[in-house]
Structure 1
Amino acid sequence: MPSDTVLYQAAALCLTCPDDDLYARLPLLREAAPQLRAFTDHAAVTAPQDLAAHYEQVFDPENGHALYLSRWRDSGTRPLVRFEEQYRAHGLEFTGEELPDFLPAVLECAARTGDTGLLTEYRDGLEELRARLTAVGTPYAAVLDAVCAALPPARPEVPR
């Protein structure tokens, strides 16, 4: 069974807007992360422009399927600073076009550092997103299924 590190990196690639890079890596993704085969098999037989249109439709902010973790729990800019601080704590610099709480960026950080703290902290949001994607029948649900299954159990919150 592949390591969770490989799974998180592969899932990050699957959850970005599909492009030539994704299609070039599909055979590798299929072998390296068999948990994602439902998605990679679907992508392999779907025209790139159709998969890109589906991605845009599914993850349109108006559809309630946000890939931005803080939208599932927090508001304001403070959570975004926390994500950036977490990246810096591991010697990583967030330079993407997306916000720092963008799930593929968080997955890549977990893959590079082994730290799943942000993913487990936002596990309830990930589970909600997974359930919503499953309900609409998108192949992206399989990616969230695999990510959620790989996460360590959530730590119980300490009463304040």
Structure 2
Amino acid sequence: MTQLLFKAFSALLSYPTAEMRQALPEIADVIRGSALVAPRERTALLALVEEIGSDDLLSAQEHYVDLFDRGRALSLHLFEHLHGESRDRGSAMVELKQLYAAAGFELTARELPDYLPVVLEYLSCRDMAEAGEMLADCADILRTIARALIARRSRYAAVLQALIVIAGEKPVDAAAVPPVRERHEALDRDWLEQPAFADPMGRR
């Protein structure tokens, strides 16, 4: 069930496709059945599942792009928040890619190793001790993204909040995060996000 949970989180944070939306009932069942998800986070996650499935596909895709692909604050590339465009980011991604390769995890050519849905797919293949340690290592970045999502009153924050709790940290206090008027910052670059895996639940 732990493996399925991380795959479910990866799917929820990926670009919505028809296949992913068809898997939403299964994703909801995984969330309901996981002991790692606390009741508060479970309620918020199920609200996100409902939201993704309630709009038509084009609207869901437009919402996703508008949220995640317009600026750095909401980027799902973890090292973007840590290193920006510095050389350190390239070195960190090489090390992360080597970690994946050592575990027999081969990326598609389209995805960067620090893309959060990819990280979650990797964690779905590891034991809980390693997953918890890796999430704890990037907890500050997860909190940064969670705050930005909460400030935009986005239900996608539920996934980040759940990951923070699984890492053994306290979730962001949503009541303490003021809303923002501007939905996104100036464009940092031309983003192109693609789902990491053909099957939204990560099955081969």
TM-score, normalised with respect to structure 2: 0.69
In structure 2, the residue matched to 1:132 is: 148
Match runs of 1:93-112 below 5 Å: 93-112=106-125
In structure 2, the residue matched to 1:52 is: 61
Could you tell me whether the CA contact under 8 Å between 1:106 and 1:119 is conserved in 2? no
Could you tell me whether the CA contact under 8 Å between 1:4 and 1:150 is conserved in 2? no
Measured after TM superposition, the shift of residue 118 of structure 1 is: 3.5
Helix, strand or coil at the partner of 1:73: helix
| RMSD after superposition | 1.8
In structure 1, the residue matched to 2:46 is: 37
Measured after TM superposition, the shift of residue 150 of structure 1 is: 1.5
2 CA distance for matches of 1:152 and 1:87?
Answer: 23
1 CA distance for matches of 2:19 and 2:161?
Answer: 23
In structure 1, the residue matched to 2:134 is: 118
Helix, strand or coil at the partner of 2:55: coil
Cα separation, partners in 2 of 1:81 and 1:125, compared to 1, 3 Å: same
2 CA distance for matches of 1:9 and 1:96?
Answer: 20
In structure 2, the residue matched to 1:16 is: 14
Measured after TM superposition, the shift of residue 4 of structure 1 is: 3.5
Could you tell me whether the CA contact under 8 Å between 2:72 and 2:80 is conserved in 1? no
1:81 to 94, 97, 102: 94
- Structure 1 range deviating more: 24-33 or 109-118: 109-118
Measured after TM superposition, the shift of residue 44 of structure 1 is: 2.0
Measured after TM superposition, the shift of residue 6 of structure 1 is: 2.3
Cα separation, partners in 2 of 1:22 and 1:28, compared to 1, 3 Å: same
Could you tell me whether the CA contact under 8 Å between 1:23 and 1:44 is conserved in 2? yes
Measured after TM superposition, the shift of residue 92 of structure 1 is: 1.1
2 CA distance for matches of 1:86 and 1:121?
Answer: 15
In structure 2, the residue matched to 1:157 is: none
Structure 2, unmatched stretches of 5+, are 33-41, 170-204
In structure 1, the residue matched to 2:182 is: none
2:26 to 25, 28, 44: 28
Measured after TM superposition, the shift of residue 39 of structure 1 is: 0.9
Measured after TM superposition, the shift of residue 54 of structure 1 is: 0.7
User: Which structure has more helix as a fraction of its residues?
Assistant: 1
Cα separation, partners in 2 of 1:92 and 1:25, compared to 1, 3 Å: same
Question: Could you tell me which amino acid in structure 2 is paired with residue 109 of structure 1?
Answer: Y
Match runs of 1:139-154 below 5 Å: 139-152=155-168
Measured after TM superposition, the shift of residue 96 of structure 1 is: 4.5
Could you tell me whether the CA contact under 8 Å between 1:6 and 1:32 is conserved in 2? yes
